[in-house]
Homo-oligomer: A and B are copies of this chain.
Amino acid sequence: MTFSSKLHRAQELASSVVCVGLDPDPDRFPDQFRDLPAPDAARRFCKAIIEATHEVACAYKPNLAFFEALGREGLGVLEDVVSSIPPDRISIADGKRGDIGNTAGRYAIAVFENLSFDACTVSPYMGRDAVSPFLAWPEKAAFALVRTSNPSAGEVQDLDVGDVPLYFRIARMLETWSSGEPGEIGFVVGATDTTILADIRDQFPDIPLLIPGIGAQGGDPEAVMATAIAGTGPIVVTSSRSILYAGQGVDFADRARDATIRLRDDLNRGR
């Protein structure tokens, strides 16, 4: 099954385009996990979030930085968390890797073979060499950074490279680099600038989009969906902190589920 087919099925099952970002931050864990060692707390916290939200989310996106920050057990915790994502949901390794070919190949083995992720995020700054090793698996996808949602995104990505902004030129290159490769390419495009999002959707209507920046970062759900429906490629809207840390008490998992449902419904109203 291709990545897009699996994603489509997961979105149908959950009636949801919501991806829950897993950024386990020990300083923000619910009170009941405070006395546990951080790796154990992170493992239990993430598993509880997945258990509580999987009926209303199509995908999970572990943020590799937060697992690496757990110390030497970090990758073990990540492996345990990924294995608890239901097989009919999508898993996306968010590491934004980008390195020379033989190194990119190692990152691809780590996320796709060792950890069985369906997709990962990659950075295009080093060119085709850094992206194509992630496109060697027919059932996997690589979401490349095109126009991100952080405040300083535009400093580099919006630079004028002749007739178009850099992010747009990179999007065109990514389309070329992925042509004929077994795996699928997707774009990371933030929700924080809906004009840019609409423009990319218009120019690349069949490319899957991973859209961060909803929630804590300020993007508007209805505006995102209004532009997203202008194309045919699947879109995945990802939110982390506003779901994970919706509650601090014993009902934290229910609060995370409620927050996921609210976001799902806000998005579905825009469809």
Q: Are A65 and B103 in contact (CB under 8 A)?
A: yes
Q: Are A103 and B63 in contact (CB under 8 A)?
A: yes
Task: Assess whether A161 is interfacial by the CB under 8 Å rule.
Answer: yes
A157, A159, A170: residue with the most chain B Cβ atoms closer than 10 Å: A159
Kindly provide the distance from the CB of A108 to the nearest chain B CB, expressed in whole angstroms. Answer: 9
Taking A74-B75, A156-B170, A159-B161 as contacts, is the C-beta distance between A65 and B150 under 8 angstroms? no
Across the interface, A153 reaches (CB within 8 A) one of B68, B78, B127, B150, namely B127
Kindly provide the distance from the CB of A117 to the nearest chain B CB, expressed in whole angstroms. Answer: 12
Within 8 A of B (CB), among A146-172: 148-157, 159-162, 166, 169-170
Task: Assess whether A254 is interfacial by the CB under 8 Å rule.
Answer: no
A112-153 vs B, CB cutoff 8 Å, 1 = contact: the mask equals 001000000001111111100000000000000100111111
Task: Assess whether A110 is interfacial by the CB under 8 Å rule.
Answer: yes
Taking A68-B75, A145-B125, A145-B126 as contacts, is the C-beta distance between A161 and B166 under 8 angstroms? yes
Kindly provide the distance from the CB of A36 to the nearest chain B CB, expressed in whole angstroms. Answer: 18
Chain B residue at smallest Cβ distance from A145: B125
Kindly provide the distance from the CB of A74 to the nearest chain B CB, expressed in whole angstroms. Answer: 5
In the assembled complex, the Cα of A166 lies from the Cα of B127 at a distance in Å of 13
In the assembled complex, the Cα of A152 lies from the Cα of B101 at a distance in Å of 10
A–B pairs, 13, beta carbons within 8 Å = A65-B103, A68-B106, A74-B110, A98-B123, A98-B125, A100-B150, A124-B156, A126-B153, A127-B156, A128-B152, A159-B169, A160-B161, A160-B162
| Chain A residues within 8 Å of B, Cβ to Cβ | 23, 25, 63, 65-66, 68-69, 71-76, 78-79, 96-104, 106-107, 109-110, 114, 123-130, 145, 148-157, 159-162, 166, 169-170, 173
